[in-house]
Amino acid sequence: MITIQIKKLRKEFVNQQDRFVAVDDVSFQLKSGKVLALLGPNGAGKTTIVQMIAGYLQPTSGEIMIDDVALTPKNRQQFPMGVVFGGELGFYGNATAKDNLVFFANLKKIPRKQLHEEVDRVLDLVELANVKNKRVNEFSRGMRQRLHIARALLNRPKIILLDEPTNGLDVEMARHIRELVKALAEREQIAILLTSHMMSEIEFLSDRILLIGAGKIYHEGTVESIIQLSGVKAIDRPATLEESYLALAEQLKRR
């Protein structure tokens, strides 16, 4: 069991003239076997939070603790995380999918004897085994996104950070990836932090939700607690997360 504690995390982006507070006093916990979702409008600070936990951005202040050890740039390697930000970058376009993953498997210090087996395992999980010898330049957006997910799964990290993991995937593949994420949490007891704009994805996957607005935590709880907080009531059926979120959305925006 791992507990990741995020304590009073803050990120200021400084330009010549002004300081912009992107993330402000954010504290929460992430635990093995659980999926925590960050939900909030564009620009709320979700990606910035994930990037600080991943070590891609240095917090202005605050701490990230893993089982009572404070993460530093030096000790970070002892706590490997699988990280998915997606997007066009991150792979060698002229190399095949398999060769790209072999490169990352080497960086993750996977022993030579297990390397090819491990690469094939993660390619299988995201259903790219049949195109593993295709160059990444020739991949569609969804194939590339699945390759990002495969890379994150290399060497079975105990913590996985997913920033809009099903962005750009077709309906069937999005469903497949969601089921994979759920299985990683439930069967392999991985701690998962997720951002998503898809309410059905959040409802399906998350144990708890952090509502983020203007860099701050507005509310933490279950889907039901957000529905209650919103006060939205539907006739003859329970209110949905989407209806409740929409009722709260105005209050989550930056002013």
Ligand X SMILES: Nc1ncnc2c1ncn2[C@@H]1O[C@H](COP(=O)(O)OP(=O)(O)OP(=O)(O)O)[C@@H](O)[C@H]1O
Quick one: 51 or 100, whose CB is closer to ligand X?
51
Q: Round to the nearest angstrom and report the end-to-end CA distance of the chain.
A: 40
Question: Three-state SS for 92?
Answer: coil
Q: What gap in Å lies between CA 184 and CA 189, rounded to an integer?
A: 6
Quick one: 22 or 239, whose CB is closer to ligand X?
22
Mutual angle of helices 112-125 and 97-107, in 10-degree steps = 130
Quick one: 43 or 168, whose CB is closer to ligand X?
43
Quick one: 23 or 128, whose CB is closer to Mg ion?
23
Q: Which residues lie near ligand X (CB under 6 A)?
A: 13, 20, 22, 40, 42-48
Quick one: 42 or 58, whose CB is closer to Mg ion?
42
Q: What gap in Å lies between CA 141 and CA 179, rounded to an integer?
A: 20
CB 223 within 8 A of CB 232: no
Binding partner selected for residue 42 from ligand X, Mg ion, none, CB under the kind-specific 5 to 8 Å limit: ligand X
Least distance in Å: CB of 30 to Mg ion? 18
Quick one: 46 or 98, whose CB is closer to Mg ion?
46
Q: Which of 6, 31, 47, 149 binds Mg ion (CB under 5 A)?
A: 47
CB 35 within 8 A of CB 222: no
Binding partner selected for residue 43 from Mg ion, ligand X, none, CB under the kind-specific 5 to 8 Å limit: ligand X
Binding partner selected for residue 97 from ligand X, Mg ion, none, CB under the kind-specific 5 to 8 Å limit: none
167 touches Mg ion by CB under 5 A: no
Quick one: 46 or 151, whose CB is closer to Mg ion?
46
Binding partner selected for residue 13 from ligand X, Mg ion, none, CB under the kind-specific 5 to 8 Å limit: ligand X
- Partners of residue 212 on adjacent β-strands: 217
Least distance in Å: CB of 164 to ligand X? 7
Torsion of Cα atoms, 35 then 38 then 39 then 44, to 10°: -170
In sequence order, the 6+-apart residues with CB closer than 8 A to the CB of 53 are 4, 6, 64, 81, 161, 193
Least distance in Å: CB of 205 to ligand X? 17
51 touches Mg ion by CB under 5 A: no
Q: What gap in Å lies between CA 97 and CA 94, rounded to an integer?
A: 9
Structure tokens that stand for 111 in this block: 């022993």
166 touches Mg ion by CB under 5 A: no
Least distance in Å: CB of 150 to ligand X? 22
Write 111-114 long-range contacts (CB < 8 A, 24+).
Answer: none
Question: Contact region for Mg ion (CB under 5 A) — 11-19, 44-52, 116-124, 141-149?
Answer: 44-52
Element spanning 235, H or E? none
48 touches Mg ion by CB under 5 A: no
Report the 10 Å Cβ neighbour count for 130.
Answer: 9
Interface ranges with Mg ion (CB under 5 A): 46-47
